[in-house]
Structure 1
């Protein structure tokens, strides 16, 4: 890797440090006659592919199976020849199973335009591929469940025309699929049940779950008594049609019970294999829980079954679940609920829970719940909320929060007859630091600026990053200008100590411009403008100086 370092520059160690902390697999390869030699492999690649450090310096065909090495060498040669990035997907067996990766090969050009090195970045998409395969299997299982269901299962469009029927529907009615697909269902209903059946269908189009009995005509003209369920098909909030499940209730009643229970439990388990499935008694005790409980919450099935469904729920969320159980027992439909549940290791996870009652003779016999881990989604939402108000680098409030809090401070000061100070701060020769030491060091300097300023203001003060190396300080509710000056002096004093980063000693400095409400203006924007003007004058004086706005200057 030494020759590579000499060619691409001294900052490669910084990039190596970054690459070693990236989850993607990263390889740096050097052209070696008709092959390529491993120059660098990051920690993720060594771990996931179970490679040792001895791979460094070896040629590709000495590490990989010959057929795979031949394929990859051709792709690497293409990158060297065209000097263009190529992307492809590959999969291969490892000791840990099949690995799927999205690979990007990028040429690294030297100053003279030659290319001897290729940077390979491989994103592990094994989990995604597994999920896609699981989805396909679930879809096949659902289709199999419909087609081989003991009841007639059919799908109606929004106009009441048959779109799909299973084989059992043809057995019950005597009609072939070709006789029904595309036809409206109304003509097959006996006259005395026509209006009622149409009303239930229209209610299903309004999003309601309907159950009723009706008589239809068999193809031979004989009436058939059916127990029918109409289920609205809602995808992403949009009604797409209606599912119908029809049972010939002249046949064995016991079969209805067995088929309904087996169908419901099998569908839930097969379609939600990665979620926690629970069966809860009306008294609130867990009768069954899927094995996924251990993967998500850390408890074994034996530890969980037989306990109250509220046992591991966050105390603040217990009342929510209790109300849901009461509502369901009273026959009400309940929405999806988000609650916190205790992991076996002692921390809480956010779960999204859907509850469905299992009815027998019109009474709730048990409850089936599906719980999905949404902790990452909750964290992401929190990050997105924070990103709207905080600077991602320094973690300081941004301009939006600063303006909001400044206006609030002015309003409060007007009532309490107090002062508000605004300071605008610029780093001393920040561009020179950036140009000399690079953007990574420049970013570290900005973070350090925020820390030092934050450490020398009051708890109620606001320190915000406005842009670049410009930081704004809000001092609300102060009695005099002297208080603001004392804080400015403390801040300046804190910048007299050098900053050490990655073995480099950096001498920092700042300039501060200050304006006060109501001394200089009553308007928020003008107050910021005056502080900016004072900052400009402070920078003219020199390093580590502050200047208070003066209308006479």
Structure 2
């Protein structure tokens, strides 16, 4: 692998990388650091390089690190540790891999440290509450209701440090920040954001922005979108200044042998591909991440490892790099593990050229993001489901309702909507407390699910209001029969807090297209029918009246 490739890999690695040496007096000293370390700690290169652990950290944090460093130098064996360190960006939890680097005689002369910030995964809920002051960039929440209706719902205070505009200015006018995107990048950034927002997929992008003083900054943005019931899209994410990383990416390092060790000890997978997609090099991290032996991988085509659904997109990504001759990043895809499971990876790729300027290969850096994807899926689930019962919430239920009505119209079928309100639920909360009320709501959800078909849909609108969508019903008699059976099931006594309580339900029933043809109108008609059921004595079902 060319020397400049190893050098670029060290600096561009998404993991924190640093090199530790030992002075003649026996003290450990930090000799080299990459841009990721500066970004994640808030320290400058001048503050770190040439300094000892005790000059950078409190003694109670530095002493344990020095003990581990000494053990690695003495044994020549790698070490994996977890440390909580106080740095300008805050108190952070780190997972650190230490790997000895040897000279030509096999003597350990330096240690390569590869660290990953695991603070958010240790305590995700706490991280959400404290992320803004601890990130080197800033957190934001941006909404879009179509057209030019952009609004920042939240923006971190570091926005003023990075771009010279205050929080108040940005919250009052989104253009105060969005208009600072470089004109050559603006259309791409906005277009990609909207596309990912409409498909509800995470977005990552790198682009240029102008500070109020006229200086140019490179930034990286990552966000996760969600859609509200009214169609508004909200992105939650963060922006980080990567200007230093961009400026230093092309620097040449000193020794090819040394940087080979740096690359091969990095947590990320470093790989090269021929223009037609054959793997010509993979770093040892492939074995750790995916289980395949390096010798079994080199010389094979990437189609042997990529998920069939992702392969066309990955090949198009490589064609884009080949066609533009420029680095590209941010593609996410699944890779087959040796155990036949799938791992999610994200990758950057850059063209490698010969002396004539022709692209002869691709250099890529890939990272396992399986845990991040699982966390995003969990966040997406929480945004669409009731936290107590796990049932679809109002937004998700209405989304499925509109889809069901479109299918029913296409196939000439009837759909029934049941609006369910518990009778005398409030006294249970008042008398036995909210924990008892929650148990009643959970039991209600279970009984509703047990009383309908697997193809039907049960949702909770909030409080003691539930809705049920019955697919492809024959007529109103069938819908009323299901509603009556649910009334009888919900009226069964419930054991709560050592006591037996009884609730019942009033149910309003509407049919598509007999009573209404839109989701909102169906719900309103069912709501009115439910109130007629309450007025008629509760614990019963009433059919909606046909529109006049």
- Kindly name which structure, 1 or 2, has the bigger radius of gyration based on alpha carbons: 1
TM-score w.r.t. the length of structure 2 is 0.49
